[in-house]
């Protein structure tokens, strides 16, 4: 036996022992220092008692097990999107696997862009969110099972980066143009503004926005007159101009404040639990 | 048991399947069968809940319009736990009057669906050994009778009060369009609206001027109806109600044995 064969044998033995895991994980970096906890476990078990085709009825959601997770940590601050979890291992106390759809080498472990769920940011807070919730779907365990002895996987998030405030004054001079600002450029988002009259008024009281590029970069939009907040809002997709009613004429003194996150990254949050009781 | 006996036994079991969860009790040819069972278990609720879905079948279901008071009197699993639901589990879902949701069985027998709740069996249980209860259904007779409310304009002006309607336990709120258009009439029927099959506006000579169209907001407590008349409303017009000649509430008992848990 030559040296290469010995190395191959050792790797094979380690794979068999579980010391090296051949998993098609997300290539995104893992989020560090994130605490993940199980918030709730729910299960639907159901059965049709008629022979198939006897009654044509749809009975709603399919059966299965759902584990609600909560995660928290500085590295996932500003979290804007959470993807579907991928489960590498889920075994009950009857030694049955509960993994619904095992990841394959050709399929990404975690969600594609379209599968990511956007986290709605509260319009009344300027604070960067450092916690979020994710859900893990599993196959229903056997009725006799009492706990999940091991659950291990990961889910992708779009998070991190720096939250910056960008302020614009003299808005009427910017109507019909893209806002020019290095932070917006750095965030990869273009913002075009204009204003229109509300029906039956002579003043232009509605700000119009059109965004393109990295739409998630803009988390909040606020409009002030001096220190008085006139309006607040948030957009995640604005291909067409979106009106933002201000309630009074937009003048040179009107201030537009955009809350922007730059350098957001895709990362994965790993999770691992033992002995989760079944409901 | 040899292989042939086993196959015969299995075949007999399969043939019996369509009826094995059908209760033997019937009332007015209404046959309840257990169609579906779903357990909802949650870690933050001690017992979760179990939904049981019955189909009630038979030609008589054509006259059924609603059901209420789904009641489980006895429910026990094979580890001897009592699954009869507490009042707080059933108060909302089981006591309201609900419209009978109709389904088609593969054999064409008319049926409707009844949903009820009970407690969830433990994970150690594998079968519900006995499930006994009843549901009340409301039926309308095939026969109808007419109730005529004369002088429609005056009837609207005096707030929709009429002695003949009161006899049928019908309450009416009726008005013309808010913008003064006296060709458009809106009627909200309360009291016992389920007996109303049709409403028409007729002329002095009995000619139908307009069939009222029921709005999408049909419920068992109210029906709304709209008329677009060919001319402004006047006292030569009458409202003609076609109502079911009789209605009755009957109990449909059920008694199922040995139901496998999912």
Domain boundaries, chain A: 23-45+60-161+265-277, 162-262
Proportion of chain A above pLDDT 70, given as a percent: 75
pLDDT band for B24, please (50, 70, 90 cuts): very low
Would you call A112 exposed, middle or buried from its count of C-beta atoms within 10 A (0-12, 13-18, 19+)? Answer: exposed
Residues of B within 8 A of A55 (CB-CB) are 35, 55, 103-106, 111
CA distance B221 to A69: 43
CA distance A183 to A127: 19
Residues of B within 8 A of A279 (CB-CB) are 41-43, 45, 48
List, for residues B127-155, the tens digit of each pLDDT value: 999 999 999 888 888 899 999 999 999 99
On the CB side of A218, how many CA atoms lie within 13 Å of its CA?
Answer: 29
Residue A56 confidence (pLDDT)? 64
A-to-B residue pairs, Cβ atoms closer than 8 angstroms: 90
Q: What is the mean pLDDT of residues A10-21?
A: 51
In a mutagenesis test of the A interface, which of B11, B22, B38 is the best target, namely the one with the most A β-carbons within 10 Å?
B38
Question: Which residues of B lie closer than 8 Å to A, measured between beta carbons?
Answer: 17-18, 21, 33-45, 48, 53, 55, 103-107, 111, 113, 123-124, 126, 259-262
User: Which CATH architecture fits A23-45+60-161+265-277?
Assistant: Sandwich (2.60)
Q: What is the mean pLDDT of residues B43-72?
A: 85
List, for residues A213-224, the tens digit of each pLDDT value: 888 888 888 899
On the CB side of A123, how many CA atoms lie within 13 Å of its CA?
Answer: 10
This prediction has a pTM of 0.71
pLDDT band for A205, please (50, 70, 90 cuts): confident
DSSP type of residue B262:
-
Structure tokens at B64: 């059924």
Q: Which residue has the higher pLDDT, A244 or B81?
A: B81
Contacts of A168 (CB under 8 A, 6+ apart): A174, A179, A181, A255, A256, A257, A258
Structure tokens at B77: 């699993």
Residue B14 confidence (pLDDT)? 39
Residue of B nearest to A38 (CA): B43
pLDDT band for A133, please (50, 70, 90 cuts): confident
Q: What is the mean pLDDT of residues B3-7?
A: 55
Of the given ranges (A34-48, A100-114, B28-42, B199-213), which has the lowest mean pLDDT? Answer: A100-114
Q: What is the mean pLDDT of residues B99-112?
A: 83
Residues of B within 8 A of A41 (CB-CB) are 42-43
Q: Which residue has the higher pLDDT, B64 or A138?
A: A138
Question: Which residues of A lie closer than 8 Å to B, measured between beta carbons?
Answer: 40-51, 53-57, 59, 63, 143-146, 277-279
pLDDT band for A20, please (50, 70, 90 cuts): very low
Q: Tell which phi-psi region holds residue A173, choosing left (phi > 0), alpha (psi between -120 and 50) or beta.
A: alpha
Q: Is B38's CB within 8 Å of A50's CB?
A: no
Average pLDDT over chain B, rounded to whole?
Answer: 84
Q: Tell which phi-psi region holds residue A275, choosing left (phi > 0), alpha (psi between -120 and 50) or beta.
A: left
pLDDT band for B219, please (50, 70, 90 cuts): low
Contact A101, A115 (CB under 8 A): no
**pLDDT score of B26 more than 80:** no
Task: Pinpoint the residues of chain B covered by CATH 2.60.40.
Answer: 15-141+248-260, 144-245
Residue A128 confidence (pLDDT)? 60
**pLDDT score of A18 more than 90:** no
Considering only CB atoms, A49 lies closest to which of B35, B39, B126, namely B35
Proportion of chain B above pLDDT 70, given as a percent: 84
Q: What is the mean pLDDT of residues A35-58?
A: 83
| C-alpha dihedral, A199 to A200 to A205 to A211, nearest 10° | 10
From edge to edge, which strands make up the β-sheet containing B144-149?
B144-149, B238-244, B196-202, B208-211
Q: What is the CATH number of domain B15-141+248-260?
A: 2.60.40
Residue A33 confidence (pLDDT)? 87
Q: Which residue has the higher pLDDT, A44 or B109?
A: A44
CA distance A198 to A250: 12
Contact A140, A244 (CB under 8 A): no
**pLDDT score of A22 more than 90:** no
DSSP type of residue B9:
H
Contact B261, B146 (CB under 8 A): no
Q: Is A40's CB within 8 Å of B44's CB?
A: yes
Buried/exposed code over B37-69 (b: 16+ C-beta within 10 A; e: otherwise): bbbbbbbeeebbbbbbbbbbbbebbebbbbbbb
- Shortest distance between the Cα of B32 and any Cα of chain A, in A, equals 12
Residue B3 confidence (pLDDT)? 59
Residue of A nearest to B107 (CA): A54
Of the given ranges (A22-36, A120-134, A232-246, B233-247), which has the lowest mean pLDDT? Answer: A120-134
Q: What is the mean pLDDT of residues B191-202?
A: 90
Residue A214 confidence (pLDDT)? 86
Domain B144-245 classification at class level: mainly beta
DSSP type of residue B153:
H
Residue B109 confidence (pLDDT)? 85
Residues of B within 8 A of A43 (CB-CB) are 39-42
- Calculate the CA B137 to chain-centre distance: 7
Q: What is the mean pLDDT of residues A170-196?
A: 92
């Amino acid at each position: 036996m030559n040296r290469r064969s010995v190395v191959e044998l050792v790797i094979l033995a380690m794979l068999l022992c579980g010391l090296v895991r051949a998993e098609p994980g997300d290539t995104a970096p893992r989020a560090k220092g994130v605490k993940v906890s199980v918030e709730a476990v729910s299960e639907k078990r159901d059965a049709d008692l008629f022979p198939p085709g006897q009654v044509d009825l749809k009975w709603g959601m399919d059966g299965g097990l759902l584990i609600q997770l909560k995660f928290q940590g500085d590295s996932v601050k500003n979290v804007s999107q959470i993807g579907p979890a991928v489960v590498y291992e889920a075994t009950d106390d009857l030694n049955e696997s509960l993994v619904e759809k095992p990841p394959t080498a050709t399929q990404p472990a975690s969600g594609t862009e379209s599968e990511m769920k956007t986290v709605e940011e509260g319009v009344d807070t300027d604070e960067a969110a450092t916690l979020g919730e994710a859900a893990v779907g599993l196959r229903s365990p056997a009725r006799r099972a009492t706990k999940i002895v091991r659950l291990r996987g990961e889910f992708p998030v779009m998070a991190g980066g720096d939250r910056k405030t960008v302020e614009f004054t003299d808005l009427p001079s910017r109507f019909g143009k893209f806002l020019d600002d290095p932070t917006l450029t750095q965030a990869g988002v273009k913002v075009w503004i204009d204003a229109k009259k509300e029906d039956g008024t002579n003043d232009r009281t509605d700000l119009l926005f059109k965004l393109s590029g990295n739409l998630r970069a803009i988390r909040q939009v606020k409009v002030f007159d001096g220190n008085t907040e006139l309006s607040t809002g948030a957009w995640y997709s604005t291909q067409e101009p979106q009106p933002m009613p201000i309630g009074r004429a937009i003048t040179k003194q009107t201030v537009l404040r955009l809350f922007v996150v730059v350098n957001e990254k895709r990362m994965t949050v790993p999770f691992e639990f033992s002995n989760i009781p079944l409901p | 048991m040899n292989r042939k006996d086993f196959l015969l036994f299995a075949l007999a079991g399969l043939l019996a399947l369509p009826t094995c969860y059908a209760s033997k009790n019937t009332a007015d040819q209404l046959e309840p069968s257990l169609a579906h069972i779903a357990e909802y278990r949650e870690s933050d609720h001690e017992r979760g809940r179990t939904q049981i879905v019955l189909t009630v079948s038979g030609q008589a279901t054509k006259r059924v319009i609603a059901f209420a008071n789904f009641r489980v009197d006895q429910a026990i699993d094979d580890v001897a736990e009592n699954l009869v639901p507490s009042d707080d589990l059933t108060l909302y879902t089981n006591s309201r009057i609900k419209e009978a949701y109709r389904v088609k069985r593969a054999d064409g027998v008319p049926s409707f669906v009844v949903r009820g709740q009970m407690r969830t069996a433990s994970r150690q249980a594998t079968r519900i050994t006995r499930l006994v209860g009843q549901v009340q259904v409301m039926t309308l007779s095939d026969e109808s009778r007419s109730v005529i409310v004369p002088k429609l304009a005056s009837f609207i002006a005096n707030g929709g009060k009429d002695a003949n309607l009161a006899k049928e336990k019908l309450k009416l709120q009726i008005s013309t369009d808010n913008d003064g258009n006296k060709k458009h009439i809106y009627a909200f029927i309360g009291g016992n609206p389920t007996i109303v099959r049709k409403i028409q506006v007729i002329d002095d000579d009995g000619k139908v001027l307009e069939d009222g169209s029921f709005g999408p907001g049909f419920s068992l407590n109210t029906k709304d109806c709209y008329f677009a008349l060919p001319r402004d409303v006047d006292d030569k017009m009458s409202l003609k109600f076609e109502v079911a000649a009789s209605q009755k509430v009957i109990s449909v008992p059920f008694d199922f044995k040995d139901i496998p848990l999912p």
